[in-house]
Structure formats: C-alpha cells, structure tokens
C-alpha cells in the first residue's frame, strides 16, 4: 500500500542531499554474466543447447557460400566471408590475416544439415579482432551466444568483461553466452588471442517480459544506466530516519509468510510475490535452520528468498506491483539485503524499479561477497516517466550460482516538488 507521509521540508532536503551524493559514486553498471556450454557434436545432434527464448535481434553465421539455416528455432542468416560480409550491423576489425573456412571443417559426420552447416564453417580470427554490433537499445537486457567449433582457449571480451574459453585446440564445439544490460546502443566485443574458430552468433533481447517496454523503445537511456547506485552499509545506516513524500510499503517484505511448504526447510515464494509460474518449488528457505547461512540478515527473521536462474530468470522476475503511480522527476529508493550462502559461489542478477513500461535497473554481484555473509544494498533511481510502480529481482547467472534476498525496506519516493537545495 502507499502511505502519504509528507514530512517537514528540511528533513526531506537532507535525505535528498544524501541521495545525490550517492549518485556521484555510482558503481559500474556493466555487469556481464558469462556461461560456457558444450555443444553436442555427435552424429545426430541438432544444436539443442542454443537458446531461442526472448526476442531475436539478429543471428548470423559465417563462411563463403553459405545459406540461411534454422538451428533449434533460431534463424542464422548467411553472414558471408572476408570481403563479402552481409551482416550490416557488424563492423570492426577481425585482426590481420583473418580467414574463413567453408562448410567442411572436421565435424562432417553431423547429419542435421542446418547444424552441420553452422558448425563446419567459420571465420578464424586474429589477435586483436575488435567487432561491434549496432542497433541495441540502452537499458535493455541482452543475451549474446557465440558459437565456436574449436575454442582454442580464446580470450573473448564483451562490453569490457573478459572470459577465456576452457577448451583447447580441438573439435569440441562450445557455446559462450554473455548476458548484460546495455549501457549504450553498440555491443563491443573482441578476441584477444589468435585463431578462434568463430562460427556465428545469436543476439536476443531478454528484457524481463513483465516489464518490457511496449511503446517506448529507447526511453531507457544510458543516463538512467549511469544513475544506478549500489552502496554499502556506510551509505545508509540502519538507524537513519527515512523521510519521504511517499512511503510505498511492501507486503511480505521479508518472506516471513512463506507459500506452500515443500519440506526440508524450503517453501514456495509467499504471496503476493509471484510464485505460481516458476518451475522449482524450492524458492525460499529457512535462513539458519535450513543451513543456508549462520546468521540471518538484520531484520531478516526466519526466511529468505533464493534468487536462482531456475526460478527467477530475467524472463520471469520476482515482482511485487502496486496500483498506484509515481511521477516523472521523483527519486525512488529501496534498501534490501543480498547474501552469498555457506559453501556457495554467489551469483549475479538485477534489481529494478518498473514505472509504467520503463525499467530502472541495478546490476548486483554476490560473488564478490565472502561466503556466508549478507550485504545491505540500496537502489536509488531518479525516474523520468510517470506510471504505476513495480519492484523486481532476477538472476542472470548460470544454474547453481545463487544469490539470496531478504529484509526489503519500504520504498521511499522523494517528490520532484521537494527543493533540491
């Protein structure tokens, strides 16, 4: 529910000053999540590891004399070869001496003709290859799938983050998946060492479906991305008086009213969190007695929520919504605790406000936390449109790379009518 709690102007101004100061130390918004998947290359394989959900932006495969092929529901256009590229969004430099191979490299026993064409043709990059793909929408979440039939331990950089393929010089094809929120309209990638076999790529827009802009593509601007704030405990002490023009109260903010119990200290997400469409019933856990953490987050009580890609991928985030609006120029802020469990690696994900059809996102990364610890995180966003409000969380990591969430505060709304200084 939304409580109108207009306070003295001087208190609101002090809090807003804190918000502005935090904005100046905004963290890196370009959190990239990499996942490496082996591609089955046995005789009857069909490329079923290639993901096809989301909105296809573009997919091309490379080599001379190729045709368009559909592999696991993804249409890979014939992208051409050096001197005759047809992928018009692709520009850049493949490095000196790059070459292509057409249609008969090593994996010729494959029987699915489309998959065979995809995996037996490729470009061979040279050191320093730097490629750009244009036409992205800033603020949207993208998934790039790169396909190689011979990974050669290539070090690949996407949007400034690097990943080294684990496979060596052999015909063991691999799919490298990179997921990130676009900070601008151009994808930048490079290959930092020689002779990667690059068969093709697929780029999908996987912006959370419940919050996908339908009429306002491009409204999520890079300026919004730069407004992201992730702050530590020091920024907002627990005992600070939060003042705001509006306080938006969550229902079940600490997951203390679990959904259907499934045993072993696990339950489904409790209402009004949206649990019904998720594949796994194990969605929230008894924090301490369930063995996830030695201590609960401050104010966290008995239960906490699991943020896993199995239950809350970007397509179906964990969301709570209100039939009440906020206005362009308002500054929204919410505090919550993210955790990395005992004996786990942690993971990456996205927290967001959704206003109308526009997302305001904060990427988080619990792999940087010590195991068995919680971190207080504040998301503050100045919004540029008016509409009904939602708060959501999702995971962008591979299965098993989990984060945990608990103890979410009221959302404070500082009205644009409050004096800035």
Q: Which stretch binds Ca ion (CB under 5 A): 18-26, 43-51, 70-78, 252-260?
A: 252-260
Region 394-413 residues binding Ca ion, contact defined as CB under 5 A: 406
Q: Which stretch binds Ca ion (CB under 5 A): 29-37, 255-263, 355-363, 381-389?
A: 255-263
Comparing CB distances to Ca ion, the nearer of 290 and 349 is: 290
- Strand segments, DSSP code E, in 254-367 are 261-263, 266-267, 284-286, 303-307, 318-326, 331-340, 348-355, 358-365
β 261-263/266-267 pair status: antiparallel
Comparing CB distances to Ca ion, the nearer of 270 and 300 is: 300
Comparing CB distances to Ca ion, the nearer of 20 and 369 is: 369
Q: Does 381 bind Ca ion (CB under 5 A)?
A: no
Q: Are 414 and 333 in contact (CB under 8 A)?
A: yes
- Strand segments, DSSP code E, in 160-199 are 161-164, 174-181, 187-191, 197-198
Q: Are 364 and 229 in contact (CB under 8 A)?
A: no
Comparing CB distances to Ca ion, the nearer of 284 and 344 is: 284
- The least CB distance from residue 311 to Ca ion, in Å, is 17
Dihedral of alpha carbons 285, 289, 293, 295, sign? positive
Interface residue with Ca ion, options 47, 300, 346, 349 (CB under 5 A): 300
Q: Does 303 bind Ca ion (CB under 5 A)?
A: yes
By rule CB under 5 A, what string of x and - marks binding of each residue 310-349 to Ca ion?
Answer: ----------------------------------------
Comparing CB distances to Ca ion, the nearer of 184 and 256 is: 256
Q: Which residue is nearest to Ca ion (CB)?
A: 254
User: DSSP characters for 267-300?
Assistant: EPPPTTS--TT-S-S--EEETTTTTS-SSPPTT-
- The least CB distance from residue 330 to Ca ion, in Å, is 28
- Please tell me whether the peptide bond between 374 and the residue prior to it is cis, using omega within 30 degrees of 0: no
Q: Are 141 and 151 in contact (CB under 8 A)?
A: no
- The least CB distance from residue 304 to Ca ion, in Å, is 5
- The least CB distance from residue 407 to Ca ion, in Å, is 6
Q: Does 301 bind Ca ion (CB under 5 A)?
A: yes
- The least CB distance from residue 255 to Ca ion, in Å, is 5
Identify which of 333, 306, 318 has the alpha carbon closest to the alpha carbon of residue 406.
306
Q: Does 266 bind Ca ion (CB under 5 A)?
A: no
As a whole number of angstroms, the distance between CA 13 and CA 420 comes to: 7
As a whole number of angstroms, the distance between CA 374 and CA 243 comes to: 25
- The least CB distance from residue 26 to Ca ion, in Å, is 28
Comparing CB distances to Ca ion, the nearer of 330 and 406 is: 406
Comparing CB distances to Ca ion, the nearer of 103 and 301 is: 301
Comparing CB distances to Ca ion, the nearer of 137 and 284 is: 284
Question: Within a 13 Å sphere around the CA of 343, how many CA atoms are in the beta-carbon half?
Answer: 3
Number of residues that bind Ca ion (CB under 5 A): 6
Burial 319-344 (b: 16+ CB within 10 A, else e): bbebeeebbeebbbbbbbbbbbbeeb
Interface residue with Ca ion, options 254, 358, 378, 409 (CB under 5 A): 254
Q: Which stretch binds Ca ion (CB under 5 A): 234-242, 249-257, 267-275, 276-284?
A: 249-257
Comparing CB distances to Ca ion, the nearer of 296 and 363 is: 296
Find residue 413's DSSP bridge partners: 246, 332
Interface residue with Ca ion, options 115, 255, 266, 273 (CB under 5 A): 255
Q: Which stretch binds Ca ion (CB under 5 A): 169-177, 194-202, 301-309, 353-361?
A: 301-309
Count, in order, helices (H) and strands (E) of the chain.
Answer: 3, 29
Helix (H) / strand (E) element for 345: namely none
Q: Which residues bind Ca ion (CB under 5 A)?
A: 254-255, 300-301, 303, 406
């Amino acid at each position: 529910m939304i409580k109108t709690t207009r306070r003295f102007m001087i208190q609101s101004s002090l809090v807003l000053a804190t918000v502005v100061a935090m904005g100046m130390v905004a963290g890196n918004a370009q959190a990239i999540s990499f996942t490496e998947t082996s591609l089955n290359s046995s005789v009857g394989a069909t490329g079923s590891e290639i993901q096809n959900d989301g909105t296809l932006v573009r997919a091309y495969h490379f080599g001379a004399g190729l045709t368009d092929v559909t592999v696991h529901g993804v249409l890979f256009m014939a992208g051409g070869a050096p001197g005759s590229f047809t992928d018009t969004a692709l520009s850049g430099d493949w490095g000196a001496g790059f070459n292509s191979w057409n249609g008969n490299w090593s994996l010729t026993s494959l029987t699915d003709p489309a998959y065979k064409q995809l995996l037996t043709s490729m470009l061979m990059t040279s050191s320093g290859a730097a490629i750009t793909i244009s036409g992205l929408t800033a603020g949207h979440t993208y998934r790039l799938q790169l396909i190689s039939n011979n990974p050669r331990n290539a070090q690949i950089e996407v949007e400034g983050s690097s990943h080294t393929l684990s496979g060596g010089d052999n015909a063991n094809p691999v799919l490298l998946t990179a997921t990130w929120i676009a900070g601008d309209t151009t994808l930048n990638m490079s290959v930092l060492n020689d002779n990667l076999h690059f068969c093709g790529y697929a780029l999908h827009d996987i912006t959370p479906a419940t919050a996908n802009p339908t009429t306002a593509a491009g409204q999520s601007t890079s300026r919004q991305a730069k407004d992201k704030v992730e702050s530590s405990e020091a920024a907002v002490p627990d005992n600070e008086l939060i003042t705001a023009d509006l306080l938006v109260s969550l229902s079940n903010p600490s997951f203390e009213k679990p959904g259907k119990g499934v045993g072993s200290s696990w339950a489904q997400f409790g209402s009004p969190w949206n649990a019904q469409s998720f594949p796994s019933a194990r969605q929230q856990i008894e924090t301490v007695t369930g063995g996830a953490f030695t201590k609960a987050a401050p104010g966290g009580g008995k239960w906490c929520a699991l943020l896993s890609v199995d239950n809350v991928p970007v397509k179906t985030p964990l969301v709570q919504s209100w039939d009440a609006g906020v206005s362009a120029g308002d500054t929204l802020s919410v505090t919550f605790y993210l955790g990395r469990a005992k004996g786990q690696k942690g993971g990456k994900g996205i927290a967001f406000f959704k206003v109308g059809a526009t997302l305001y996102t904060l990427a988080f990364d619990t792999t940087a936390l010590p195991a068995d610890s919680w971190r207080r995180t504040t998301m503050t966003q100045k919004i540029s449109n008016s509409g009904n409000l939602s708060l959501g969380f999702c995971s962008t990591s591979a299965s098993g790379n989990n984060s945990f969430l608990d103890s979410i505060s009221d959302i404070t709304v500082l009205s644009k009518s409050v004096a800035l200084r």
